[in-house]
Copies of this chain bind each other. A is one copy, B any other.
Amino acid sequence: MASLPAGAEIERLIQLLAKLPGLGPRSARRAALVLLKKREQLLDPLALAMREAAAAIKVCETCGNLDTTSPCSLCRDPRRETHVLCVVEDVADLWALERAGVFRGRYHVLGGALSALDGVTPERLNMASLIDRVSRGVDEVILAMNATVEGQTTAHYLMDTLAASGVKVTRLAHGVPVGGELDYLDEGTLSAAFKARREL
């Protein structure tokens, strides 16, 4: 990318904005311009919100969620079941499940998925604390990993690890996404949906 006819401070701002997921070089330039033009309405409040969120954020000592308290609001909520654990790779996955509102138990955030390529070993994920929680009395562990190679490797590893404890281990169903068109689906999804077909 050619250098912009603007100062080093603006270049640096654009470079850092481009590191955010969802922003490429072009949208980072647009974002920088909007920030600089709307200083009072956007730039100053955003800088403040970043500082405040960074200062307030804690990693939940129980489940690994990000919240402003530890244990997090989900782990402290007395209305949530304590005997069902849903294991996710990332906080974003926890948020997605909470938005769907389908689960009323507790979570466990691994902080990633096993990956030989990226050097992510079981020790680098929150697995020891999961085993510990399971040993203290859990009826069911729902493995809600991503349907990627890494996610499924992690799920298999956990299934093996948890087998000794005798806990019931389940995983999310694979199939046709609601609203999905068969024509646009990959073979793997179609094959999974076929194998798991149900009688009406």
Residues of A within 8 A of B (CB): 1-2, 4-10, 12-13, 16-17, 19-24, 27, 29-36, 39, 42-47, 49-57, 65-69, 72-74, 90-92, 94-95, 98-99, 101
Selected contact of A46 from candidates B50, B52, B53, B67, CB within 8 Å? B50
User: From A100, which residue of chain B is reached at the shortest CB distance?
Assistant: B2
- The interface residues of chain A, by DSSP majority, are classed as helix
Residue of B nearest to A22 (CB): B27
Q: Please give, as numbers and ranges, the residues of chain B lying within 8 Å of A21 by CB-CB distance.
A: 27, 30-31, 34
> How many copies make up the complex?
2
Using A16-B42, A42-B19, A47-B47 as known contacts, say yes or no to A5 and B95 having CB atoms under 8 A apart.
Answer: yes
Q: How far is the CA of A47 from the CA of B12 in the complex (A)?
A: 11
Partner of A66, one of B10, B16, B92: B10
Residues of B within 8 A of A33 (CB): 66, 90-92
Shortest CB–CB separation between residue A44 and chain B, in angstroms?
8
Q: Which residues of B contact A20 (CB under 8 A)?
A: 17, 23, 31, 34-35, 42
A50 CB → nearest B CB, Å = 5
